[in-house]
Structure 1
Amino acid sequence: MKIRHSLFAVLALAVATPALAFDLPPPVEAPEYTGTISGVSGWYIRGDLGYNASLDAGKPSWESYSSKDNSYDNVTFDSARLDGNFNLSTGAGYQFNDYFRTDLTLDYFKTDFDGKSIRNTSCSAGQLASTKCGFSHTDSLASLGLLANAYVDLGTVWGLTPYVGAGAGVASVDWKGMTTSKYCTGSKDCDNGIKYEDQETSGIESWRFTYALMAGVSYDIAPRTKLDLGYRYANIAGGDMTDYSENEQKKGAKNPKAQDDGIGRHEFRAGLRLTTW
């Protein structure tokens, strides 16, 4: 009797199992994120940290003024150097499709200027004619630029999207004020005890044209978030650096005393782009 009951239970379970399996919905597989987002478009915000691997000061120049005949003597810097430094950038843009996007960015950087120049005349009448007068110039600047940029994304491979881009806009260049030190050179007889006072001149702030060329690669580190690594060459047009000193202006000097030849920057940058809506 017990054996028949057991057999009956086994047969009932065997019949019921397929029916239950038929009633259950099929299993749903969770989608796998592969690191590549295709077809995402919309507004995005961005932030970048860059390093100025190379700063080119061009060929700046300065003038000396003679009140005797109201004349100006232009002197080109024999050497001019801008110290490398970090820069910051932030902006917002729109991704139109998988291949084209644009944005507006604000770029900020600071740098120090160091220049030297030598004139083939003595610093003063008390020195030998064989001596020359050397000048050491120091200054610093801060710049804030507004650029409109356009980029072409070149397709995505293994989650990496290389791109090229270009931008143009305006930049505020704010020179802080130049200190010029005079010294005798060119002869062992320079050390004659003559002391020269440093000359302080006020800096000039001006708005200038600027442009940039970019290339890099982005990677989708999360949905709607991209890591951006790139190189950028940025160039700011030349302009005025500093005015004449108060004393020189009282004697009649009117033109800007020094002018830079433009500022070129080779930057390596890293940042994030976040698609918002």
Structure 2
Amino acid sequence: MLTQVKKTLFGAAVMAAGVVPALAADIYEPPVYAPEPVYTQPEPEPVDYGGWYIRGDLDYHATKFRGGNYITYGPPPGTGAFDSGDIDSSWSVGGGVGYQVSRYLRTDLTLDWMGKADFNGSTSGFCGGVPCTSVDTSSYSALLLLANAYAEFGTWHGITPYVGAGIGGAYVKWDTLRNTAGGITTDHEGSANWRFAWALMAGASYCLTNDLKLDVGYRYANIGGGRMFEYASGVAPGFDKGFHIHEGRVGLRYQFGGRSSCYEPEPVAYEPPVEPPVYK
């Protein structure tokens, strides 16, 4: 009986020894999965659009005379007014310095010299007790100093539209006013003085290079009234009521440092990060 039990245990041991290698051969090995790529656009580096710039401008402008009046000393004393007054078109040249605050905002300080424009006017009065009309001729020139701010609306195909406004002053210089009435000519010395001025602008710039722009636009300038001519032959001083000025302008702007709105950063090629394999 004991011998039979030993044989049975030995046989069971042999069978178990044969099963263990088979189980070892069937051990599960998990597959290797590569991580799914996550494509994210890299954050663009911030671009500094701030920078100083200089500008030069030319324009051709039309000036509207807003009227004028003068003092008379009699008899009887009183005041008179111009019946008419026209100023010829002229041109101006100017320059300035400014700062590009951001891609959509810039400011500058400009100074323009407006070339001489001829004035022709007339007045009504009495010459030796008889009604008569005078012929008045002169010319004026001006320096226009403005502090300006502009809002820009982005750049498309190198073109940047903008609007702006300015405030400052104008130094207006009148030449001698020659008054002819009843066959008598009287010369009144012209006056020169500073006046309040403001302006509104609209236009667009075009990128010639990353730093150089061609600027084309319109500017409306309003110059306040002031003294026009001095006393002579019982008349004066005279005063004009100011001017409306409509300007067509063209100029160049060159920016130092920073980036102008012409700048377009080079595209950055995306390179996904390398991650170790994940076992699941």
Which residue of structure 2 lines up, in the alignment, with residue 153 of structure 1? Answer: 152
Overall identity of the aligned pairs, in %: 42
Shift of 1:41: 2.6
Asked if 1:217 is matched to 2:223, the reply is: no
**Distance in structure 1 (CA, Å) of the matches to 2:70 and 2:121:** 11
> Match for 1:81 among 75, 86, 96?
86
Q: Which letter maps to 1:124?
A: G
Is 1:201 the equivalent of 2:201? no
Structure 1 runs of 4+ aligned residues shifted over 2 Å read 38-41
Q: In structure 2, how many angstroms separate the alpha carbons of the residues matched to 1:150 and 1:170?
A: 16
Aligned residue number for residue 189 of structure 1: none
* Counterpart residue number, 1:112: 118
Write out per-residue CA displacement over residues 39-90 of structure 1, whole angstroms, 9 at most, x where no aligned residue: 54300000010010x2110121223222x5xx53222211100110011110
User: 2:146, 2:153 → 1: CA distance?
Assistant: 22
Equivalent residue for 2:171?
Answer: 172
For residue 66 of structure 2, give the secondary structure of its aligned residue in structure 1: coil
SS in 1 for 2:156: coil
Q: Please show how residues 1-277 of structure 1 align to structure 2 within 5 Å.
A: 40-52=49-61, 54-66=62-74, 72-109=77-114, 110-119=116-125, 121=126, 123-125=127-129, 132-183=131-182, 196-245=183-232, 247-248=233-234, 256-277=236-257
Larger radius of gyration: 2
Tell me the amino acid that sits aligned with residue 51 of structure 2.
G
Q: Please report how far the alpha carbon of residue 108 of structure 1 lies from its aligned counterpart in structure 2 after TM superposition.
A: 1.0
CA distance in 2: counterparts of 1:224 and 1:168, whole angstroms? 27
Aligned residues: 210
Name the SS for the 2:70 alignment partner: strand
Cα distance change on mapping 1:82 and 1:116 into 2, 3 Å: same
Structure 1 alignment gaps of length 5 or more: 1-37, 184-195
User: 1:117 corresponds to which letter in structure 2?
Assistant: T
CA RMSD, Structure 1 to Structure 2 (Å): 1.6
Measured against aligned partners, the alpha-carbon deviations of 1:75-128 in whole angstroms (never above 9, x if no partner) come to 221110011001111000000111000000001112111101223x4x225x6x
CA distance in 2, matches of 1:96, 1:72: 57
- The letter for the 2-side match of 1:207 is W
